[in-house]
Chain A
Amino acid sequence: MPLLEIKDLHVEIEGKEIIKGLDLTMNPFEVHALMGPNGSGKSTLSYTIMGHPKYKVTGGDILYNGESILNIGVDERARRGIFLGFQYPMEVSGVSVENFLRTAAEAKEQKDVPILAFHKALTKRIEAMAIPQSFLDRYLNEGFSGGEKKRNEILQMAVLLPQLAVLDEIDSGLDIDALRLVSDGINKLIKEDHLTLLLITHYQRILDYINPRFVHIMVDGKIVKSGGYELAKQLDKMGYEWVKEE
């Protein structure tokens, strides 16, 4: 059974249709890349999978583990194992990263998580990701650099261990060192925790670090072309105009 099955999906925001009949099937443990020009609807798709109330599904369905999730709330989708890595993570003043992570872990477990045990496990986790201890005491994303915000998204994913992660332009705004760190973190989750991943990106660059089995190209609210890793390379060489012309 596929982990994620999107069928003829139509989505609008404030009356404007953005996704116009999109199909996508992802089996467990697969890594898919979704590429496309600005405004093609990639971010809309990621928000829709997570259940953002602003995005209205006007047709089609999204099945997760064989069950429609359209009528399921954002938090419940997350607890069932869906994760969205944000292109622009929100800042929450006064809430430390550790406190936030523990609250999220408690929500997932649906029970209190002992503070000390959690702190120990978290310390181990961030050491493995080369994140400094001071990171945990900082307020969530407040005053974080672009790279720190993205690494924080990966840290959250590593703590929550979702089944399905949708990462929306996790590579944007990263320099080469930060990109490598972020990619290492993602690869570790793919390898060790059997993450199923939908990697949304503009650029082929991150695909040098994270190899997708499938590459899809989205233009104007639809997937217009699917293939393997070589499709990304071709795209890098020839640009999106090439796909649009075809």
Chain B
Amino acid sequence: MSAATVEELEKNQEQPADSSYVFRSSKGLNEDIIREISAQKKEPGWMLAKRIESYNIFKKKPIPAWGPDLSKLNFDEIIFYIRPEDYKAMKWEDVPEAIKKTYDALGIPEAEKKYLAGLVAQYESEAVYTNLKKVWESKGVIFTDMDSAVKEYPELVKEYFMTKCVPPADNKFSALHGAVWSGGSFVYVPKGIKVEIPLQTYFRMNTKSSGQFEHTLIIVEPGAEVHYIEGCTAPRYSVSSLHSAVVEIFVKDGARARYTTIQNWSTDVYNLNTKRAIVYENGIMEWVGGSMGSGVTMLYPASILRGRGARAEHLNIAFAGKGQVKDTGAKVILAAPDTSASVISKSISKDGGKSIYRGLVRIGREAAGAKAHVECQSLMLDDKSSVDTIPIIEQFTPRSSVGHEATVGKIDEEQLFYLMSRGISRDDAVALVVRGFIEPVAKELPMGYAVELNRLIQLEMKGA
């Protein structure tokens, strides 16, 4: 790529961050770019082969037609790979000033910056530093960026990376992801080890038209436990951008994993993800998510309950403001006896925003004694907004039970009157009701994230 393009792009950047980029692929996608990405990362041949294989699948797969309108998504206009200074920091002090400035510009509170000690932060497409608590390292816990994992733990990556959980052929965007993935986290928790401090990462993307394809791979061996947290916020852009992550989680026998994320991409981003967990005997998988921002979001974390007694809990809140489509939900496959799942999905729509709950619960023939419960709650703040609920329940064994509840409603005027009769303004009363609505999700988040979620929602409410 020519230096002129880099300069041009940097001139167009509206945000204060001004890191100099070592390498940036040009717009659009072809095999040369994929080879270049792989070469830049000094990847082994097997990973390049995987990328090329994925790319060939991507070319053949159609854009999914069953969901929101993706016709404006133009792959030729997207930059598929960006890399910050070829630099990895181990300490907060070592993080480049430009990156700290971006955090400041995003208004990350001091308390959350402190959280940053002991996490992997992704700036642009790549983790800038890794700082895993030594105590966990000594117990064999691996927490590193995905690119390093390819080189340092090739056997684990070969076995688990886009093989049995989310193969490239799963859908068009997982295939694209397989071709151009970059950055993300790799977590490995050995048998019986309980990681008590949540492992956290931050993803931010900061360049026009830059695709973000971070890959998260979490392996929790039998009896082990881990809580992994991913947060995303992004500065504004004027050109459509694409975020298409893949998350793969393996919860082995008797293990427990919790995956928490708050996403707040700017409203011109297509946020199209594939997140999936395979849960073995008596394992527990918990998904906690807050989906803010983005133009179009498609997100249906999936749990495949493969072992007897496996359990999944999905808790999600989505906020759809002006011009936003939130097509979110959950997918649970109960494929073993005595498995159970609970899905709670909440949405808030405002200023013409569109929220769709799309969910699948499949209880297989082998799942005798399985239980599933789905609860969708939608709150509409005005008449312009819309809500749709598309719950699909497939029950292949009668010896199982499944329940579904959906409540869709406008904000209750009598509730507002009650709050206003105590002197609270109408806007503040609405904000209070909304905060109450998201509370079941917020209380599952670590303090800093709960504060951020509340702040984001309050900002959205003001239309900021």
Residue ranges of A at the interface with B (Cβ–Cβ < 8 Å): 50, 52-53, 73-75, 78-79, 83-84, 86, 89-95, 99-100, 103-104, 107-108, 139-140, 156, 160
Contacts and interface: CB of A to CB of B under 8 A. Distances in A.
B28 interface: no
Contacts of B418: 86, 89-90, 92
B435 A84 contact: no
A90 B414 contact: yes
A94 B440 contact: yes
Contacts of A103: 424, 428, 432
Given A73-B420, A95-B432, 15 more contacts: A52-B417, A53-B413, A74-B421, A75-B423, A78-B423, A86-B421, A90-B415, A92-B418, A94-B436, A94-B440, A100-B419, A103-B432, A107-B423, A107-B425, A139-B439
Contacts of A89: 418
16 contacts: A74-B420, A74-B421, A75-B423, A75-B426, A78-B420, A78-B424, A83-B421, A84-B421, A90-B418, A93-B436, A94-B437, A94-B438, A107-B425, A107-B428, A108-B423, A160-B423
Given A75-B420, A100-B432, A92 B425 contact: no
7 pairs of A and B residues whose beta carbons are closest in the complex: A94-B436, A94-B439, A78-B423, A95-B436, A90-B418, A104-B422, A107-B423
B419 A92 contact: yes
Contacts of A139: 436, 439
A28 B351 CA distance: 46
A50 B437 contact: no
Contacts of B421: 50, 74-75, 78, 83-84, 86
B109 to A, nearest CB: 16
A68 B42 CA distance: 78
Q: Chain B's interface: helix, strand, loop or mixed, by majority?
A: helix
B232 interface: no
A103 B421 CA distance: 12
A148 to B, nearest CB: 16
B433 A95 contact: yes
Contacts of A73: 420, 426
Contacts of B437: 93-94
A182 to B, nearest CB: 18
Contact of A95 (B417, B425, B426, B439): B439
Nearest to A104: B422
A107 B424 contact: yes
Contacts of B419: 92, 100, 104
A120 B438 CA distance: 27
Interface string B174-212: 000000000000000000000000000000000000000
A79 to B, nearest CB: 4
A48 to B, nearest CB: 12
Nearest to B425: A75
B56 to A, nearest CB: 49
B435 A79 contact: no
B432 A92 contact: yes
A53 B435 CA distance: 24
A156 B419 CA distance: 11
B439 A104 contact: no
Given A52-B417, A90-B418, A95 B435 contact: yes
Contacts of B433: 92, 95
Nearest to A74: B420
A159 to B, nearest CB: 9
A13 to B, nearest CB: 14
Contacts of B436: 92-95, 139-140
* Centre residue among B420, B429, B437 by max chain A CB count within 10 A: B420
A83 B418 CA distance: 11
Interface string B404-422: 0000000011110111111
Interface in B294-342: none
A104 B435 contact: no
Contacts of B432: 92, 95, 99-100, 103
Contacts of B426: 73, 75
Contact of B422 (A52, A53, A93, A156): A156
A234 B424 CA distance: 41
Nearest to B429: A75
A9 B424 CA distance: 27
Nearest to B418: A90
Contacts of B435: 94-95
Contacts of B428: 103, 107
Contacts of B424: 75, 78, 103-104, 107
A100 B423 CA distance: 11
A213 B253 CA distance: 73
Nearest to A77: B421
B281 to A, nearest CB: 35
Interface string B270-313: 00000000000000000000000000000000000000000000
B316 to A, nearest CB: 16
A189 to B, nearest CB: 16
Contacts of A99: 432
Given A90-B414, A92-B432, A94-B435, A107 B422 contact: yes
Contacts of B429: 75
A79 B426 CA distance: 13
B315 to A, nearest CB: 13
* Centre residue among B422, B436, B439 by max chain A CB count within 10 A: B422
Nearest to A79: B423
Contacts of A84: 421
B434 to A, nearest CB: 9
A193 B414 CA distance: 29
